[in-house]
């Protein structure tokens, strides 16, 4: 099943403009410290790494811990230099992997 992802970013930007991106991923982020109603520990299932790239080069790389709320939301900024592809990827426990690409047009 593909992960549900919502990304908001402008499709057009002026050269040199500071662009804000927000990403939202549907994920339980089960922290591994809770127990079920029968007392069995619920195993950890979180997203451990998030990477944002702009034309192949990293904007940022985040290491994540169980303190990140369910459905991890991130907002950050970068400088629009040329038209190209923004690539976002998430990696997590139990082989979780998701990625999404969007295009940005820089004038």
Is residue 60 involved in binding other proteins (CB under 8 A)? Answer: yes
Cβ of residue 28: shortest distance to other proteins, in angstroms?
11
53 belongs to the binding site for other proteins (CB under 8 A): yes
Instruction: Give the three-class secondary structure for 44.
Output: coil
Residues 5-24 close enough to bind other proteins by CB under 8 A: 18-19, 22
By the rule CB under 8 A, 68 interacts with other proteins: yes
Rounded CA separation 103/55 (Å) = 10
Q: How far is CA 88 from CA 29, 36, 85, in A?
A: 18, 33, 10
Q: Which residues contact 71 (CB under 8 A, 6 or more apart)?
A: 24, 25, 26, 27, 29
Rule CB under 8 A: say whether 94 interacts with other proteins. Answer: no
H or E element at residue 91? strand 84-92
Instruction: State the minimum distance, in angstroms, from the CB of residue 83 to other proteins.
Output: 14
Residues that bind other proteins (CB under 8 A): 18-19, 22, 31, 33-37, 42, 53-55, 57-70, 72-79
């Amino acid at each position: 099943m593909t992960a549900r992802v919502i990304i908001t970013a402008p499709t057009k930007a002026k050269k040199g403009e500071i662009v804000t991106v927000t990403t939202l991923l549907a994920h339980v982020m089960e922290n591994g410290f809770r127990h079920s109603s029968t007392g069995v520990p619920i195993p950890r299932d979180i997203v451990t790494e998030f990477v944002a790239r702009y034309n192949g080069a990293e904007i940022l790389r985040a290491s994540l811990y169980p303190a990140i709320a369910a459905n991890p939301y991130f907002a950050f900024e970068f400088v629009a230099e040329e038209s190209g592809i923004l690539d976002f990827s998430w990696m997590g426990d139990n082989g979780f992997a998701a990625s999404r690409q969007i295009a940005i047009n820089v004038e």
